[in-house]
Chains A and B, each alone.
Chain A
Amino acid sequence: MQQSAVHIDDYILSERLMAGDPGAREMIYDHYGPALYTIILQVIADNEKAENALAQVFVYIFNDAVAYRDSGDITLFGWMRRVARQMALKLAVGELEDNGTMVSNGSLLFRFTTGLPEGIQTVFRLCYYKGLSREAVARMLGLHPEEVASQLREAMVAFRKFLNN
Chain B
Amino acid sequence: MELDHYIESGIIESYALGLATAAEIEELQYMRKLYPQLNTELRIVERRIEMAALTEGVQPPSRLKDRVFQRINWDEEKNTTGKDKSNYTFINIQSKNQDYITVHRWWKLFFIMVFIVSKICLFAAIYFYLKYRQSQEKLAQPSSRIEYRVPTK
A116 interface hit (Cβ, 8 Å): no
> Is A128 interfacial (CB 8 A cutoff)?
yes
Is A18 at the interface (CB under 8 A from chain B)?
A: no
The answer for the CA separation of A155 and B19 in the assembled complex, in Å, is 11
Question: Given that A74-B43, A159-B10 are contacting pairs, would A86 and B56 also be in contact in the complex, using a CB cutoff of 8 Å?
Answer: no
Q: Given A59-B75, A107-B52, check contact A37 B8 (CB 8 Å).
A: no
Question: In angstroms, how far is the closest chain B Cβ from the Cβ of A148?
Answer: 11
The answer, yes or no, to whether A139 is at the interface (CB within 8 Å) is no
Decide: A81 and B68 in contact? CB cutoff 8 A. Answer: no
**In the complex, A114 has a CB within 8 A of chain B:** no
**Chain B, range 44-80, C-beta contacts under 8 Å to A:** 45-54, 56-61, 64-65, 67-69, 71-72, 75-76
Q: How far is the CA of A31 from the CA of B11 in the complex (A)?
A: 28
User: Interface digits, B3-21 against A, CB 8 Å rule (1 contact, 0 not)?
Assistant: 0000011111110111101
Q: Tell whether, in the assembled complex, residue B53 and residue A39 are in contact, meaning their CB atoms are under 8 Å apart.
A: yes
Interface residues on B, range: 35 or more
Residues of B within 8 A of A32 (CB): 54
Chain A CB within 8 A of B118 CB:
no
On chain B, the residues within 8 Å of A38 by CB distance are 53, 56-58
A-side contacts of B39, CB under 8 Å: 74
Residues of A within 8 A of B53 (CB): 35, 38-39, 77, 81, 108
A31-58 toward B: CB 8 Å interface, digit per residue (1/0)?
A: 1111111110100000000010011001
Further contacts, 15 of them, CB under 8 A, given A25-B72, A104-B56: A29-B69, A35-B57, A37-B57, A38-B53, A51-B64, A59-B75, A74-B46, A86-B18, A152-B14, A153-B14, A156-B10, A156-B13, A156-B19, A158-B10, A159-B13
B residues contacting A by CB (< 8 A) are 8-14, 16-19, 21, 29, 32, 39, 42-43, 45-54, 56-61, 64-65, 67-69, 71-72, 75-76
Q: Chain A residues in contact with chain B, CB under 8 A?
A: 3-4, 7, 20, 25-26, 29, 31-39, 41, 51, 54-55, 58-59, 62-63, 72, 74-75, 77-78, 81-82, 85-86, 103-104, 106-108, 127-128, 134, 152-153, 155-160, 163
